[in-house]
Amino acid sequence: MKAEIISIGTELLMGQIVDTNAAYLAGQLPALGVDLYFISQVGDNLGRLADAFTRALARSDVVLTSGGLGPTEDDVTRESIAAALGETMVVQPELERHLRAFFTRRGTGMPERNVKQATLIPSATAIPNPKGTAPGWWVEKNGRIIAAMPGPPREMTYMWENEVAPRLRKLTGGVTIASRLVKTFGIGEGKVDEMLSPLLKSNNPSIGVYAKPDGIHLRVTAKAATQSEAEALLQPMVEKVLATMGETVWGFDGDTLETSVGALLKAKGLTLATMESCTGGLLASVITDVPGSSDYFKGGVVSYTNEVKAASGVDAKLIAEHGAVSEQVARAMAAAVRTRCGADIGVGVTGVAGPSEMEGKRPGTVFIAIDDGRAARVFPTFWPGERSVIKRRATTSALFHLKKLLEGRA
Ligand code: AMP
Ligand code: MG
């Protein structure tokens, strides 16, 4: 089943609101086995909208819309569907009664212009909307379907979950989807694409490659008549992806690095402390996003200047000799914070967030040191980008190396 989404509203085209409705619906369709081919945004204009519906009905089995169902003159979704189908809107007494009752319950009379929310065309039935005044339209004609939903996200998602998705699920004849998200870190999107290139040609299961702040995510998706067949199809492809991506894989589906690191520390009864320079406390912040992190996180120091590094136990001579952004200083930061906080593991992060060079080192140069009292390891990295991106990547990188180290530690 081929679907397309039309998001309706002039405010979308003015950049005043972001089309979260389309993103939501797009995320919902794979689980129904519905293929999404187009998303368009169209302003509140009868002619252009009617054209959009005519084009959509010529190429898609299902057209999902949001917006333009309000009572005001500029809300013309119903009028446009009627025009595209050559049908006439007629007020439905039952819907009108329902609408008037809604306003009575609110203690106000119904403004007369709201009556158009009680109309239908012969090919449409009303989709109930307990969250607002405007019912949706479910239109079936010539084997095509239009589901017109309200614009406010709360109303739209409610109508989708309770009315539209269940109807589509019946129509798709039970095609189900199994999908697994594989999360990697450490190599760029182009390289991942190259490594997976033979596998990317497959279309069931298929693989999608997405660049995210915590690395490259790979979504493996399989379609089949039943869930178990879809799972059976999915599993061998996931194995191939894991074999190809090797050590870069750090998690699946809803996993986050901070949660995995936290769980490992807890399981091993170990504690952690951080000393950060270029990340400005972001690492400690992300670690403490996890509920219960006080069980294993002792604390952190943001030693942004050399004076604070020295006051926090880093030998000033090392800074003078190698520079604050150096393997030696990262190592000293990890060791100092580990000792001072009485933690089992210390992490030191020092680097250049940019935009200018520092000590002749380019923005994106970062040294991450992890000291677990047995050995200290330093991971030099270079990820160019904007300040916020460098800080975010350095944080992710520290957590990634910490996770690998904890997994390898008895
Ligand atoms: P409408 O039903 O077109 O009158 O839209 C009512 C309100 O819903 C708009 O003012 C927006 O705040 C919100 N809205 C409409 N369309 C979208 C959309 N595609 N994504 C997110 N919000 C939307
Ligand atoms: Mg609108």
| Domains with residue ranges and CATH for the chain | 2-169 (3.40.980.10), 181-228+239-252 (3.30.70.2860), 257-408 (3.90.950.20)
Of all protein residues, the one whose alpha carbon is nearest to atom 15 of ligand 1 is 151
Does 205 sit behind a cis peptide bond, omega within 30 degrees of 0 on the bond before it?
A: yes
Q: Is 152 in the pocket of ligand 1 (CB under 6 A)?
A: yes
Lookup: tokens for 139: 């239109």
Secondary structure of residue 73 in the 3-state scheme: coil
Residue with tokens 């999360």: 183
Secondary structure of residue 379 in the 3-state scheme: strand
Report the C-alpha gap between 101 and 234 in whole angstroms: 51
Of all protein residues, the one whose alpha carbon is nearest to atom 16 of ligand 1 is 151
Angle at 340 between CA 334 and CA 345, to 5 degrees: 45
Closest CA to 78 of 155, 142, 136: 136
Q: Phi and psi for 220 in degrees, rounded to 5?
A: -100, 125
Instruction: Output the pTM of the full model.
Output: 0.70
Tell me the CA–centroid distance for residue 154 and ligand 1, in Å.
10
Sheet containing 2-8: give its strands across.
Answer: 35-42, 2-8, 62-66, 144-149, 136-141, 124-127
Tell me the CA–centroid distance for residue 70 and ligand 1, in Å.
10
Q: What is the pLDDT of residue 15?
A: 97
Q: Is 7 in the pocket of ligand 1 (CB under 6 A)?
A: yes
Give the relative orientation of helices 46-59 and 77-85 as an angle to the nearest 10 degrees. Answer: 50
Residue with tokens 């509203």: 9
Q: Is 76 in the pocket of ligand 1 (CB under 6 A)?
A: no
Tell me the CA–centroid distance for residue 152 and ligand 1, in Å.
5
Could you identify the atom of ligand 1 that is nearest to the CA of residue 68? 3
Name 272's bridge partners.
Answer: 297, 345
Report the C-alpha gap between 257 and 402 in whole angstroms: 9
Residues 350, 390 contacting (CB under 8 angstroms):
no
Q: What is the pLDDT of residue 30?
A: 84
- Over the range 336-348, which residues count as b (16 or more CB within 10 Å of their CB) and which as e? bbbebbebbbbbb
Tell me the CA–centroid distance for residue 10 and ligand 1, in Å.
10
Tell me the CA–centroid distance for residue 43 and ligand 1, in Å.
11
Q: Is 72 in the pocket of ligand 1 (CB under 6 A)?
A: no
Q: What is the pLDDT of residue 213?
A: 86
The sign of the CA dihedral 386, 389, 393, 395 is positive
Q: Phi and psi for 269 in degrees, rounded to 5?
A: 65, 35
Could you identify the atom of ligand 1 that is nearest to the CA of residue 7? 19
Of all protein residues, the one whose alpha carbon is nearest to atom 12 of ligand 1 is 152
The low-confidence residues of the chain, meaning pLDDT below 70, are: 174, 410
Q: Is 186 in the pocket of ligand 1 (CB under 6 A)?
A: no
Name 366's bridge partners.
Answer: 351, 381
Pocket test for ligand 1, best of 156, 159, 160 (most atoms within 8 A of CB): 156
Residues 164, 66 contacting (CB under 8 angstroms):
no
Q: Is 68 in the pocket of ligand 1 (CB under 6 A)?
A: yes
Lookup: tokens for 409: 């530690």
Tell me the CA–centroid distance for residue 307 and ligand 1, in Å.
52
Tell me the CA–centroid distance for residue 171 and ligand 2, in Å.
29
Report the phi/psi class of residue 67: left, alpha or beta, with left for phi > 0 and alpha for psi in -120 to 50: left
Report the C-alpha gap between 96 and 180 in whole angstroms: 47
Closest CA to 180 of 221, 213, 139, 142: 221
Q: What is the pLDDT of residue 409?
A: 80
- Over the range 374-398, which residues count as b (16 or more CB within 10 Å of their CB) and which as e? eebebbebebeeeeeebbbbbbbbb
Of all protein residues, the one whose alpha carbon is nearest to atom 14 of ligand 1 is 151
Closest CA to 365 of 329, 394, 400: 394
Report the C-alpha gap between 36 and 355 in whole angstroms: 40
